[in-house]
Amino acid sequence: MLKKIIGTTGTRILNAGFALIILYLITNYIGSEGMGIIGLIILDITIIQLVIDLIAGSALIYYASRTNLGSLLIPAYLWIAVVIIIFTGVFMIGNTIFPPSVIEIIVPDGYANHILFLALISGFMVTHYNLLLGKKRIKTYNILFTLQISMMLAVFMYQLFAVNNTDVEAYLYGLYFGYGSAAVVGFVAVIYKAGQLNLSEWQATVRKVLNYGMVTQLANILNIGNNRVSFYIIRYFLGLNILGIYNAGIQLTEGLRVIGQSIAVVQFSTISNTNEYEYARTLTIKLMKLSVLLTGFALLVLILIPEDVYSLLLTKDFSGVKPIVIALSPGLIALAINNVFSHYFSGIGNPKINLHAKITGLIFTLTLIFILIPAFGYIGAAITASVSYTATVIHQYIVFKKQTHTRFGEWIPVKQDLIDFKIIVQSALKRDNKSDDN
């Protein structure tokens, strides 16, 4: 498992490096207003993906090892088509009912079709990702993840430097190729290891997936509310340029999130394939320590970078990025904890805990966001996010402690943790470098 964590973390760090290059290109060639538009487009795609994930989301990871892939894959494809049709209707009705000034706060003018098509491709791509994770094919997942962002970066750079296209569309063309290549290769990878695709009892399987996915996706929807509702509020009160600066600060911190995300991906894949709750508890505690320590160290490095470096890399239009990172710092540590807790509760088949925790976080978000953003701008949005993430984690910790009777002292890193980690690393490095797909 540690080899998979190291491989996943290495892949995500590589991809975070690519993401920083993409951020540099956007800020230097497209500008803050374009960055704001891109932020809204990605957010809209994410919202559509959340609805797709009711059937094609993390429930696929949980059930991929428990049922035939055919009864998961085909209904997922059909559901993706239904969701895109529904949102097409929503966009059309919205344009009829509301004035353009209201619609543009949520859907940037002229980009509705791009959002729908990209969401369609993203739905297929994420479905394949989830099925691979459910089968514990972590190495294939990592390869696809790298292929996605590599293709995106290559096409984006081609548009900027070969075609001299410095509009937002240059970035979107990169997304088309990145999502599309990962979706196609992902389909081949899923089918290659699927065996016979049996559709028998698909209706019962879909009901199970919905029961699991409904709660999980409600939690994810609330999570997006906690994370990104500030985008719409900033767009309304402060405009696209300020939103672009805030989005740049968020993108800078994405590199720190890959540590907790990488650990949590393998944790979820492992826990969802076992019924040993004590093992799941112990694993969660150890991975939590690792996640927090590594994230904290990386965060310290990011904070110590001088403001002038940020201005040099991102241009002076983005000189307010470092204060955003500082204000987000407590929230970034909370997110590292939240990732591990969330995947623990989902992995043992109890995602309702995450839903309740997200409700707690959303209460803080809705209480603070309309006060702090008008008063402090994007810094107020960052402070709101940190408070919301922290409240969410406190809720999860209380429930975890109550269910598992874990003592507070077990969370404190001790010398034995370092010894255990060193032994596991040495053991992992001595093993043959066999494919994770075998």
More confident residue, 273 or 367: 367
d(CA 148, CA 6): 20
> What's the one-letter identity of residue 324?
I
- pLDDT bucket at 438, cuts 50 / 70 / 90: very low
Flag whether 280 is in a domain.
yes
- pLDDT bucket at 276, cuts 50 / 70 / 90: confident
Share of the chain above pLDDT 90, in %: 39
More confident residue, 294 or 378: 378
d(CA 37, CA 31): 10
Q: What is the pLDDT of residue 7?
A: 56
Among 54, 83, 80, CA closest to 213: 54
pLDDT tens track for 35-47: 999 999 999 999 9
- 382: containing domain: 2-429
- For 23-59, letters b (16+ CB in 10 Å) and e give bebbbebbbbbbbbbbbbbbbbbebbbbbbbbbbbbb
Statement: residue 336 has pLDDT above 60: yes
More confident residue, 58 or 397: 397
Flag whether 321 is in a domain.
yes
| Count: domains in the chain | 1
For the ranges 50-64, 155-169, 317-331, 377-391, the lowest mean pLDDT is seen at 50-64
Statement: residue 12 has pLDDT above 60: yes
d(CA 192, CA 74): 16
- pLDDT bucket at 380, cuts 50 / 70 / 90: very high
For the ranges 39-53, 71-85, 211-225, 313-327, the lowest mean pLDDT is seen at 211-225
Q: What is the pLDDT of residue 320?
A: 80
Residue 89 CB neighbour total at 10 angstroms: 10
DSSP state of 350: -
Question: Looking at residues 231-258, what average pLDDT do you find?
Answer: 86
Q: What is the pLDDT of residue 420?
A: 64
Specify the 3-state DSSP secondary structure of 100.
helix
More confident residue, 423 or 214: 214
Flag whether 437 is in a domain.
no
| Residue labelled with tokens 């066999």 | 434
Residue 136 CB neighbour total at 10 angstroms: 21
Radius of gyration of the chain (CA): 21
Flag whether 434 is in a domain.
no
Q: What is the pLDDT of residue 428?
A: 44
Task: State the pTM of this model.
Answer: 0.77
pLDDT tens track for 408-428: 888 888 777 777 666 555 544
Flag whether 267 is in a domain.
yes
C-beta separation of 15 from 23 below 8 A? no
pLDDT tens track for 131-167: 888 887 878 888 898 899 999 999 999 999 999 999 9
More confident residue, 318 or 10: 318
For the ranges 9-13, 57-61, 62-66, 219-223, the lowest mean pLDDT is seen at 9-13
Statement: residue 429 has pLDDT above 60: no
More confident residue, 199 or 86: 86
Statement: residue 258 has pLDDT above 90: no
pLDDT tens track for 386-412: 999 999 999 999 999 999 999 988 888
d(CA 240, CA 40): 9
Share of the chain above pLDDT 70, in %: 87
Flag whether 374 is in a domain.
yes
Flag whether 375 is in a domain.
yes
Q: What is the pLDDT of residue 45?
A: 95
Q: What is the pLDDT of residue 207?
A: 75
Q: What is the pLDDT of residue 97?
A: 92
- pLDDT bucket at 330, cuts 50 / 70 / 90: very high
Statement: residue 214 has pLDDT above 50: yes
- pLDDT bucket at 196, cuts 50 / 70 / 90: low
For the ranges 81-90, 93-102, 387-396, the lowest mean pLDDT is seen at 93-102
Flag whether 201 is in a domain.
yes
As given in the structure block, the two tokens for residue 208 are 């199970």
C-beta separation of 385 from 329 below 8 A? no
Among 193, 186, 64, CA closest to 125: 186
